[in-house]
Amino acid sequence: MTTLLLRCGVLVGPLYLLVGVSQGLVRDGFSFARHPLSVLANGQYGWIQTANFAITGLMVIAAALGIKRLLGPKSRLLAGFLGAYGAAVFLASFFPADPVDGFPPGTPLGMPTSISRAGLIHFACGGLAFACLTISGFAGAWTFLRRKMLLLSILSLVGGLTVAIGFFGGLALPIGIIGIWIAVVVGWVWLSVVCWHLQHSAAEQ
């Protein structure tokens, strides 16, 4: 069971990106240079990205449970914040981001002058999710350092810093969507690598 839960953590990032990027390549009006994947929840095929968010959130929660089962009580900070990240992503699936900057087709170009309640909740869930993911990286650095897993500790520290700078810096600095993309990709890579290593540790026990 522990190995199965950790395998969710290995696969969730590639699955999320595969589904999201595939949609971005075929849906009219979407631009990787201007839009986050969350806006794909709008339009006729928006249900695909909505399902992507929901399944992703549940798989992250499963990975957090796997980490807790394998590493025990000393991993509760890592597992807790990682689980909170998954819960925030799952919750975001119920509140789609607002159409923005020409997507879906017919949406005015540029940033909207107002935000809907659903869009505001989605934005709040996103901020909470990336804050929890950042803290998960820092908590992972401490957890793995205590267990003398130095490479995972360094990876977690770098991952946490990159997610924080990419996402929150992307909101505040001119790098914009590029920073958010960096945070998304690095966050998924970190989780996949960590769970892959822990999965092998579980299999050996």
One pLDDT digit (tens) per residue for the chain, 205 residues? 899 999 999 999 999 999 999 999 999 999 998 899 999 999 999 999 999 999 999 999 999 999 999 999 889 999 999 999 999 999 999 999 999 988 999 888 888 888 999 999 999 999 999 999 999 999 999 999 999 999 999 999 999 999 999 988 766 665 668 888 999 999 999 999 999 999 987 666 6
- The distance from CA 29 to its chain's CA centroid, rounded to whole angstroms, is 24
Determine the pLDDT at residue 197: 93
Determine the pLDDT at residue 177: 83
Determine the pLDDT at residue 174: 55
Determine the pLDDT at residue 173: 62
Determine the pLDDT at residue 141: 96
Determine the pLDDT at residue 179: 87
Tokens (6 digits) for 169: 């810096």
CA atoms of 186 and 196, how far apart (whole Å): 15
pTM score > 0.85 for this model?
yes
> What is the total count of domains within the chain?
1
Asked if 14 contacts 196 with a C-beta cutoff of 8 angstroms, the reply is no
Determine the pLDDT at residue 137: 96
CA atoms of 71 and 29, how far apart (whole Å): 45
**Angle of helix 117-146 versus helix 150-172 axis, rounded to 10:** 150
Determine the pLDDT at residue 204: 63
Determine the pLDDT at residue 205: 60
- Which domain range does residue 72 map to? 2-204
> What 3-state DSSP class applies to 168?
helix
Determine the pLDDT at residue 109: 87
Asked if 182 contacts 166 with a C-beta cutoff of 8 angstroms, the reply is yes
Strand blocks (E) in the chain: none
